[in-house]
Structure 1
Amino acid sequence: MLTIIPVIPAPFVTYEEYSRVTGLPMGTIKDYVSKGKIIVKEKEQTKGKPFVNMVAMYEIAVREATKKLG
C-alpha cells in the first residue's frame, strides 16, 4: 500500500491564499464556506479575518480518497 503524506504549508490560510493554491475564485470559496464544503477556523474576534483550516480540508480529502480507493 502506498502512503502519501502531504506537506501542509500552514495549518490556516486566508481565503486569498486558498484561492491561489486551489485556483477557486473568491466567490466560489465564500459560497462553499456558507454551504460547509470548506472548513474555516472559528474567529476569535467578530471582525477577525476568516481562515481556511487546511488540516481539516486535507482530512476530508483523505477520507474521500480512502472511500473511493478502499
Structure 2
Amino acid sequence: MLTISPVIPAPFVTYEEYSRISGLPLGTIKDYVSQGKILVKEKGKTKGRAFVNIIAMHELAAREAKEVLG
C-alpha cells in the first residue's frame, strides 16, 4: 500500500494562497466556499478574514481517494 505524507505549510491559508497552491482562480474558490466544496475557518471578527482549512481539505481528498482506490 502506498502511503502519502503531504507537506502542509500551515493549517490555514488565505484564499489568495490557496489559489496559488491549487491553481484555482480566486472567483472559483469563493464560489466553492459558498457551495461548501472548500472548507474554511470562519472569520472571528466582522472585519476579519476567512481562511481555507488546509488540513480539512487534505483529509477530504484522502477520503475521496480511499473510496476510489479501495
Give the TM-score band, short-chain normalised.
Answer: over 0.9
Deviations 1:27-46 (A, max 9, x none): 10000000000000022111
Residues 16-55 of structure 1 mapped to structure 2, 5 A cutoff: 16-55=16-55
Q: 1:2 aligned to 2:2?
A: yes
1:52 Cα deviation (Å)?
A: 0.2
1:49 Cα deviation (Å)?
A: 0.8
3-state SS of paired residue (1:31): helix
Q: Return the alpha-carbon distance in structure 1 between the equivalents of residues 5 and 20 of structure 2.
A: 21
3-state SS of paired residue (1:29): helix
Q: Which runs of 5+ in 2 are unaligned?
A: none
Query: What's the counterpart of residue 11 of structure 1?
Result: 11
Q: Return the alpha-carbon distance in structure 2 between the equivalents of residues 47 and 36 of structure 1.
A: 21
TM norm structure 1: 0.96
What root-mean-square deviation, in Å, do the aligned CA atoms of Structure 1 and Structure 2 show?
0.6
